Structure 1
């Protein structure tokens, strides 16, 4: 009796779940990266998440302490939800470095379009090259961390990895026999 059958919907749900965990890890990594950079450059934290959310929803935080808390919550929710994209890339068969590059491109391109649209940041062509490079670095940290976590979660147990390698070897031998 088979205990595991191909189940596309179950695999999709698994990919999304792994993606959410990867997105959470990526968000923690970008947050740490930004905190280190802000200590070095003496830059104040960005309030872009709450600016965009306030414009989109029409709701605003009551005071500065609420603003900082809400900003952080939106930052984590947004970053974690981008993990779904990483999960969908994995579900579609894109793995490793290519998936990380696509994920990075999607995240950073969205930011470069969305933040100026909501007056949360100037257009990229009006920013200092150093600021653009730092922002790209932070988003690369996110994408790499999320990618590493997703790929680790997607690899399965050591036994499953061995079975997958054996299966590939057998398929390769069958293909070369014809």
Structure 2
């Protein structure tokens, strides 16, 4: 597709072009992505805490349990497990911000918004479910209630939306 056809179809995306990208620009995108991932994780965490107050659901230690199984460690106390769960949650979300930056560096074949956010939501949600399933920390999806699926997917939609928005804003400000 020619550039002028692409502009007509997707609008002016000159901020998103990656032709002949300098390594410093890739590094800046990655840093913006990591920062955006932390911002998205903060938004997701706030949403989860609000949801837990409404539903009465306790905090999950599944991230800590999965991490322990992956790297072969054990927590000795509930407090250690809760702390490790928070650290795993924040590290995982921040790292996915780097993944969001890589989506931007993918070139001209990437979808426009809102499809980027929906794709990123699907990626982050399915990766989290697969990680928890592969470590034995979540039941098969067919055993989840519809409510649990919607809540979990909704938290990931918040994460993806805020991460993507923060990434685009940070990149504009820092260019």
TM-score normalised by structure 2 residue count: 0.82
Identify the residue that residue 138 of structure 1 maps to in structure 2: 155
Question: Residue 96 of structure 2 is aligned with which of 59, 79, 82?
Answer: 82
> Deviation at 1:131?
0.4
Identify the residue that residue 164 of structure 2 maps to in structure 1: 147
Question: Residue 69 of structure 2 is aligned with which of 43, 55, 71?
Answer: 55
Q: Aligned equivalents of 2:128 and 2:143: distance in 1?
A: 15
More helix as a share of residues: 1
Identify the residue that residue 134 of structure 2 maps to in structure 1: 117
> Deviation at 1:115?
1.1
Identify the residue that residue 28 of structure 1 maps to in structure 2: 42
Unaligned segments of structure 1, at least 5 residues? 1-5, 161-178
Offset from partner CA, 1:119-168 (integer Å, 9 cap, x none)? 111111111011000000000000000011001112247xx7xxxxxxxx
Unaligned segments of structure 2, at least 5 residues? 1-19
> Deviation at 1:28?
0.3
> Deviation at 1:7?
5.3
TM-score normalised by structure 1 residue count: 0.80
The alignment's C-alpha RMSD in Å is: 1.6
Q: Aligned equivalents of 2:93 and 2:126: distance in 1?
A: 14
Q: Secondary structure at the match of 2:114?
A: helix
> Deviation at 1:96?
3.9
- Bigger-Rg structure (1/2): 1
